[in-house]
A and B are shown apart, each in its own frame.
Chain A
Amino acid sequence: MQLDHVSSVLRPRRSWEGIDLGFAMARVWFLPLWFLWWVTALPYALFLALISGGRADLWLLALWWCKPLYEAPLLFWASRALLGAQPPWSATHAVVRTAMSRALLPLLLWRRLSLRRAFLMPVTIVEGLRGEPGRQRRRVLSLHQSAPRWLTILCYHFEAILWLGLLLTLVFLIPRELVRIDLAALVLGAGSWLDWLSALLYLLAFSVIAPVYVCAGFALYLTRRTELEAWDLEVAFRRAHSTPPTSGRVPRPGTLAGLTLIGLCTTLASGDAMAVTKLDPDQAQTLIQEILADEDFGSRLDVTLWLPPGATDADNPAERAWSPGVRTWMLLLATALKWLALALVLLILAGLVVRLAHDWRRRLRRPPHPVPNALPTWFGQAPDPVVPEESATRIRALLDAEQARAALARLYGWMLAEVSRLGPRLSPGATEGDCLSGARARLPAASAALVTRVIAHWRLVAYGRREPDARLVRQLFDGWCQVLGRRETTRASPTTTPRTRL
Chain B
Amino acid sequence: MRATDAVEPCGGRPDARRIPPSSIDTIRFHETPEGIDLALRVAGPVVRALALVIDVLIRLAILVVALPLLALPGVGAGIFLLLLFGLEWLYPVFYEVRHGATPGKRALGLTVVHEDGTPVGLSASLIRNLLRVVDFLPLLYAVGLVSCLVDRDFRRLGDLAAGTLVIHHTPPQPQAQGLDVPPRRPPPGLPSALQQAILAFAERGRSLSPARRGELAEILAGPHGLRGSAAVAAVEGWAAWIASGAGDAPALPQPNPRGAQPPP
Contacts and interface: CB of A to CB of B under 8 A. Distances in A.
Asked whether the complex places CB atoms of A and B closer than 8 A, the reply is yes
Interface of A: 7-9, 11-14, 16-17, 19-21, 23-28, 84, 150-151, 154-155, 157-158, 161-162, 164-165, 168-169, 172, 208, 212, 216, 227-230, 232-234, 236-241, 243, 316, 318-319, 322, 327, 330, 333-334, 337
Nearest to B220: A237
Contacts of B22: 7, 84
B53 to A, nearest CB: 9
A contact patch SS: helix
B43 A27 contact: no
Interface stretch (B113-121, B156-164, B191-199, B251-259): B191-199
Contact of B142 (A151, A161, A327): A161
Contacts of A232: 197, 200
21 contacts: A7-B22, A12-B173, A14-B109, A16-B168, A20-B43, A21-B26, A23-B149, A24-B24, A84-B22, A154-B49, A165-B138, A165-B142, A165-B146, A212-B149, A229-B208, A233-B216, A234-B219, A237-B219, A240-B190, A240-B197, A337-B75
B10 interface: no
Interface string B60-85: 00000000000111110000000000
Interface string B11-51: 00000000000111111000000000000011111110110
Given A7-B24, A16-B47, A20-B47, A233 B201 contact: yes
Contact of B139 (A158, A165, A239, A322): A165
Given A16-B43, A20-B42, A168-B138, A333 B25 contact: no
B142 A8 contact: no
A241 B221 CA distance: 11
A9 B193 CA distance: 14
Given A162-B142, A236-B194, A334-B75, A9 B212 contact: no
B46 A240 contact: no
Nearest to B168: A17
Given A240-B197, A319-B73, A23 B216 contact: no
Interface string B212-255: 10001001100100000000000000000000000000000000
A25 B146 CA distance: 16
Given A164-B142, A168-B138, A330 B74 contact: yes
Contacts of A208: 149
Interface in B134-153: 137-143, 145-146, 149-150, 152
B52 to A, nearest CB: 11
